[in-house]
Chains A and B, each alone.
Chain A
Amino acid sequence: MSQQTAVRQRTRPARPSTTHPKAQQATPRLRVVQPADTHATEGVGFVVACLLLLVSGLVVLLLLNTVRAQQSFTMDRLQAQSNTLSDTQQELQSDLDNVSAPQQLALKAQSLGLRPASKIRYVRKSDGKVLGVAKDSSQAGPFTVGTLPTTPASQAAGAAQAAASAGLVAVKPKPAKKPSTDGAAHSTAKDSKAKSKSGTTSTPKTTSKPSAKGASDKSRSSQNPKTNPKKTSR
């Protein structure tokens, strides 16, 4: 190997001596390329294309981002709207549930002067025949409402209850005010609940019916004296 390289090195110096005269003899084949030689437009086109690509890319990106942000805002807005609507619905439903509780209906019916049916006639639909007449058993006194809460949170209701169960008929719970106070009572915290409910204390005016009590006492005294034997062992 070293021998071979040695040989090559030895032969190299000879080469210039053989080629040099030739180059000097021929006309120069290489020369500096002038800018004028190339087509001036080729480079510009490329740069413009690059710039266009860049700019359009940026613009598209910007547009996409804008649209996305826009959608996000729209979504937020619609979501807020949907929330508001469902809140309203819930609130109204809650109010509806509250006013449709039987004791509220009973009080309302009473305030409108309604009474439980004292007689019910059963009629057969097909031939109109009267099947029978049922009388109400609770005619001893006026119908009273005694199931309203007695907790401090609803002292107003308690007052109405006391009035109702004392044989008085609760009258005039201001119709316009009642639903709104009820709604507020359930939509606010406890303190305000107590406050808003106690606000209705004065609303149910009462009218006494002293005759009712006497009647019920009488009916009690007239009951059958037969009594139930009770255990008296031990």
Chain B
Amino acid sequence: MQLGIGNPGRRGRVLFIVSLFIFTLFVAQLFRVQGIESASMSKQALDSRLAHVTVPALRGQIVSSGGVVLADSVERRTVTADATLTRDYTKLVNGKQEKVGLAGAAQDIAQIVGAKPADLLAPLEAASKINSRFTYVIKDIAPAQWSKIAALGIPGIFGVKTSQREYPQGTSVAPLVGWVSADGTGGGGIEQMENTALNGKPGVHTYEQAPDGTVIASGDNSDTPAVNGKNIKLTIDNDLQWYAQNAMAAAVKKYKAVSADAVVMDLQGNLKAVASYPSFDNNDMASAPNYLQSRPFAEVYAPGSTGKIVTMSALLQQQKATPLTHVVVPPTLTRAGTTFHDSEPHGTENLTLAGVLGESSNMGTMLAGSRISPDTLYSYMRKFGLDRLSGVGFPGESGGILSQPSKWSGTQRYTVLYGQGYAVTAIQQAAVFQTIANGGVREPIKLVSGIGDAAGGWTTPTDSRKAVRVVSPAVAAKVTRMMEGVVTAKGTAPMAAVDGYNVAGKTGTANRYDPQLGRYNGTTASFIGFAPANHPQYIVAITVQDPTRGSIYGGNVAGPVFSQIMSYALHEGHVPPSTTKPAPYPFTFDPSASKKK
């Protein structure tokens, strides 16, 4: 067949047509790339260069009322490695370029972070063995340390931004402040309670990078900044909190107790200190014990004689008795088939109602308290805030245990009068005394005083709870005067007195229910009171669980601790000493005089 390429003219024409055809293809492709698909093509190219890095948002701070930092987030770096690159690490050794590999890298990094080189080498070698391109080398190092590592120029070593939670106060506020779990959410305490406000929104840093990972200087880069979490300001007075915690630690050791807790609040229900011992170190949750709750919120106990305040207030408010009402207390008393007696045997005593409270006579309380019906007593208990949550929203908070009066057993109707047969939290019981101190008005308990805003100010959190009037001011004043007798030499807690100040308070020694044994064992020793009695500033509640050394009674165990903490609170709060002498009611009456009446 004749192709005709021998003919120069025809050959030229064929070549011309072929090359024209090829050029047409080129043009078409050019048109496609630059015209039709230009946007998607260039985007694809950019995407291959772009790198996105998440910028972690710092969690908000938790600060005390005075602005002392209780929890803070700090920026940290986690060092990761591509071991397949790192094993080619070379550096100048004695003026010669030498390949030092993984061991050299581990050595250099360890020197900067102060770790053992072997600990860093292990993950690197493990990753290198299986040709893995990712492994963690060391976590949570300071940014300054990372910049030193970065300056070494070790191939395949990267730093990832993270944040770490720090608690400068550690154990003294740990149960209250809580901790942050590995996923970045609050695991307990305030951290959990205010997690939404504390958590920020992470940002993204986008930049162009060369195939080897270096940043293209003239490339595009953009930032979506991270929005840091909001700060939380507590009502807690940091110094007082620590002092209380320290006193609790000392008390547990001194009395060989299981645990101890303290609550300090002001007249408006602002919690000034919430101490709980034994505590834990929230900087190191790995070695924390099992019990991580804040006891004043979470632990329920029979209040014992501090519960008599509710009975007395109800009696006075219902006008069934006055502080001077005569109560003749026999040596023993049989009610509902059970014989009751006081802790110390005594003959028939002629006590006033104030004397019943001052000497903490259970039988006297039963005799006087029987004048009000179980339903009336129950309604007062509820009004005082028992059997309900405080509304603070604290994680793990208990509302206490109190059954309906219709379900009370025969003896329970009487034991409830003196604080046995139901259970409360220390916060609830402190609120009962706050009500009396505040002239009969129970204020809602507050723990958070402000949530930080962008301008650096504080906004008060919204609160739908309202103050409740429980008893009249006159009744509150009478109950206060009755309680002043408790700390006198005749009362149950002279050791709770604070030099220079009039104190009103009440001891409590309750049978303690031991959850491990499943029965009553030991006592709960408590003292709750406020000072100065005529012009109350602070309410302090001390609870010591199962003291076994020295004494088991509230007046002897919790009283001195109360005195210390109250004294410190008053001094620190610049409350001048009381100028008037306390005038407690007489404890006893002369039976011959009353017969004449």
Contact = CB atoms under 8 A, between A and B. Distances in A.
B166 A97 contact: yes
Interface in A198-234: 220, 223-224, 226-234
Contacts of A232: 340-341, 343
B128 interface: no
A80 B491 CA distance: 69
A149 B342 contact: no
Contacts of B168: 94, 97-98, 100-101
Contacts of B243: 102
Residue from A84, A196, A224, A229 whose CB has the most chain B CB atoms within 10 Å: A229
A103 B571 contact: no
A71 to B, nearest CB: 9
A189 B564 contact: no
A231 to B, nearest CB: 4
Interface string B553-575: 11110001001101110110010
Contacts of A120: 571
Nearest to A158: B281
A178 interface: no
Contacts of B140: 189
Interface residues of A, number: 68
A134 B571 CA distance: 8
Contacts of B143: 83-84, 87, 90
Given A131-B576, A149-B281, A234-B411, A188 B113 contact: yes
B362 A149 contact: no
A220 B550 contact: yes
Interface string B50-69: 00000000000000000011
B114 A231 contact: no
Interface string B233-248: 0000011001101100
A186 interface: yes
Contact of B172 (A87, A140, A147, A223): A147
A189 B242 contact: no
Contact of A231 (B74, B279, B511): B511
Interface stretch (B32-40, B84-92, B180-188, B497-505): B497-505
A191 to B, nearest CB: 6
Given A90-B74, A117-B571, A187-B142, A131 B579 contact: yes
A184 B249 contact: no
Residue from A84, A146, A190, A233 whose CB has the most chain B CB atoms within 10 Å: A233
Contacts of B418: 231
Contacts, number: 236
Interface string A68-111: 11001100100010011001101101100110111100100000
Interface in A160-208: 165, 184, 186-192, 195-196
A145 B420 CA distance: 35
Contact of B279 (A69, A137, A147): A147
B509 A189 contact: no
Contacts of A91: 142, 144
B166 A122 contact: no
B72 interface: yes
A117 B571 CA distance: 10
Contact of A227 (B245, B246, B492, B566): B492
B567 A137 contact: yes
A190 B283 CA distance: 10
B411 A233 contact: yes
Contacts of A149: 170-171, 280-281, 283-284
Q: Which 4 A-B pairs have the closest CB atoms?
A: A132-B577, A146-B249, A149-B281, A102-B242
24 contacts: A69-B217, A69-B218, A76-B215, A84-B147, A93-B72, A101-B172, A103-B169, A122-B576, A137-B499, A137-B560, A146-B246, A149-B280, A153-B287, A188-B113, A192-B113, A220-B556, A226-B490, A227-B343, A227-B509, A227-B555, A229-B343, A230-B510, A230-B511, A233-B338
